[in-house]
Chain A
């Protein structure tokens, strides 16, 4: 039983470059979430997919950020023209649809991608 996986685990880039992260959720999970965690803070919601549809985006997700989940399986998060303020841990999580989940319906998190923008 594989969990949520993310790639790469670490990314160092120069300001102004584009970066792309990948998340592979647990196979039967149709919900996928992206969160961002900066140093000393809890994770903050960025965006949410149900199957291939992106249904909610946070105001934190500026126009430099784009996320996709083309076939309702893996997802990518791209940051264009990176800035030093983008340095953070990017966490992906997945969960079952509520109608087949238990009352917990907890989100299962991946190990995260740590981005450093120089």
Chain B
């Protein structure tokens, strides 16, 4: 069974600084996909970045990058140059393979960006 672990319930960062949000995963499937979603207080889940298990390079999307360490089964999200609008819950998720391809989520990390 797939499992996602996010060990940081809350993180604080100063505006314009970088922050790393941790995510470890467990799966026996050789093929999988890892996602990060942002959930502002409004509730909607916003897709940020994706990493496939066979991707050779770490994914990047603007200020977001994913530090993918396959041997350690970790997929940490790095947000550079934090902005006040980055304050939100952040969820790491794994997509199951075959069938529904449903997402399995971690418990999330609440990020607060201080001015």
Given contacts A93-B45, A112-B43, are A42 and B107 in contact (CB under 8 A)?
yes
Chain B binding surface SS class: strand
Q: Is B99 an interface residue (CB 8 A)?
A: yes
Contact A33 B102 (CB under 8 A): yes
Kindly provide the distance from the CB of A111 to the nearest chain B CB, expressed in whole angstroms. Answer: 5
Docked complex Cα distance between A91 and B93 (Å): 15
Number of contact residues on B: which range applies? 20 to 34
Which chain B residue shows the least CB distance to A57?
B100
Interface flags, B35-68, vs A, CB<8A=1, else 0: 1010000111111001010000000000000000
Given contacts A41-B107, A42-B106, A42-B107, are A91 and B45 in contact (CB under 8 A)?
yes
Number of contact residues on A: which range applies? 20 to 34
24 interchain pairs, CB-CB under 8 A: A31-B101, A40-B107, A42-B4, A42-B91, A42-B93, A42-B107, A43-B45, A43-B103, A45-B100, A48-B102, A89-B43, A91-B43, A98-B101, A103-B50, A103-B52, A104-B33, A104-B47, A104-B50, A106-B35, A107-B47, A107-B103, A109-B37, A109-B44, A109-B46
Interfacial residues, chain A to chain B (CB-CB below 8 A): 31, 33, 35, 40-45, 48, 55-56, 89, 91, 93, 95, 98, 103-112, 114
